[in-house]
């Protein structure tokens, strides 16, 4: 069976993922790839309900472990219903966030209240021995990213700002988390997201070409 490629985008708030992912998808389609764009949380019907619980409302409404389990419930549904079938059909899947977000937000963000061992165990149970082929981490100073994200949400019908409302220390922690995670395996590439949209797009295309299209 032909196997597609799995690309994940990660990073804190307001890094430009939502703008860049459709641009990369278009580029890959122009290279002849069949591309599926998806996201976590919310890549499935059940996931969209979980997203409402996870991304709206009181920042402190969920116990951190309960929150972590809900992200993994979303991920499990997403993998089974969407990501794995698409990859098995030879498609390229680009996901706006995946498991590294849970490690960064729920482990590092909450200052280690959820242990890394718990996170690794959940990954083994819910995901198994499966990893993205490429993970692009978009990095930006949280203060700049948060300002961008809050501005984008100003005009949104449903305000998804549960995490944006958390204190700056939470966001500094998770940024550090992403940078540490990115040092653990060759599949990670960290790109400076404090660049113009065009410059960042060129960096993303270059990275994808070097890592996946040339192989
Ligand atoms: P988004 O803003 O990139 O669409 O992501 C939704 C929010 O959910 C964002 O604030 C990050 C958060 N999140 C986690 O805290 N843990 C996770 O595992 C995922 C996938 C997202």
Best substitution site from 101, 106, 153 to test ligand 1's pocket, by max atoms within 8 Å of Cβ?
Answer: 101
Residue nearest to atom 9 of ligand 1 (CA): 163
Mean pLDDT of 124-139: 98
Percent of the chain whose pLDDT exceeds 90: 90
Number of domains forming the structure of the chain: 1
169-190 confidence digits (pLDDT tens): 999 999 999 999 999 999 999 9
Work out which ligand 1 atom sits closest to the CA atom of 164.
Answer: 10
Residue 182's pLDDT is 98
Q: Is 73 buried (19+), middle (13-18) or exposed (0-12) by CB count in 10 A?
A: middle
Domain that holds residue 44: 6-213
CATH number at residue 137: 3.40.50.300
Confirm or reject: Cβ of 163 under 6 Å from ligand 1: yes
Of ligand 1's atoms, which has the minimum distance to the CA of residue 105?
15
Token pair of 8 as six digits: 């994940």
Helix runs in the chain, H state only: 17-30, 45-55, 64-78, 84-88, 99-102, 116-126, 142-154, 168-181, 197-208
The model's confidence at residue 86, banded by pLDDT at 50, 70 and 90, is very high
Residue 46 pLDDT > 90: yes
pTM comes to 0.97
Tokens of 187: 């599949």
1 in any annotated domain:
no
């Amino acid at each position: 069976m032909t196997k597609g490629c799995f690309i994940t985008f990660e990073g804190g708030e307001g890094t430009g993922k939502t703008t860049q992912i459709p641009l990369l998808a278009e580029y890959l389609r122009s290279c002849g790839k069949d591309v599926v764009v998806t996201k976590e949380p919310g890549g499935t019907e059940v996931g969209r309900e979980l997203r409402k619980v996870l991304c709206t409302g009181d920042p402190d409404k969920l116990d951190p472990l309960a929150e972590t389990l809900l992200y993994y419930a979303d991920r499990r549904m997403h993998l089974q219903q969407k990501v794995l079938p698409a990859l098995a059909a030879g498609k390229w899947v680009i996901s706006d966030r995946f498991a590294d977000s849970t490690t960064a937000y729920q482990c590092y963000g909450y200052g280690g209240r959820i242990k890394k061992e718990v996170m690794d165990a959940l990954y083994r149970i819910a995901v198994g021995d499966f990893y993205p082929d490429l993970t692009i981490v978009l990095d930006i100073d949280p203060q700049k990213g948060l300002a961008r994200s809050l501005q984008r949400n100003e005009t949104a019908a449903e305000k998804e700002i549960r995490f944006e409302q958390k204190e700056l220390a939470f966001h500094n922690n998770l940024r550090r988390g992403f940078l540490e995670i990115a040092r653990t395996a060759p599949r990670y590439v960290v790109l400076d997201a404090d660049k113009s949209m065009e410059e960042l797009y060129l960096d993303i295309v270059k990275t994808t070409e070097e890592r996946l299209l040339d192989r």
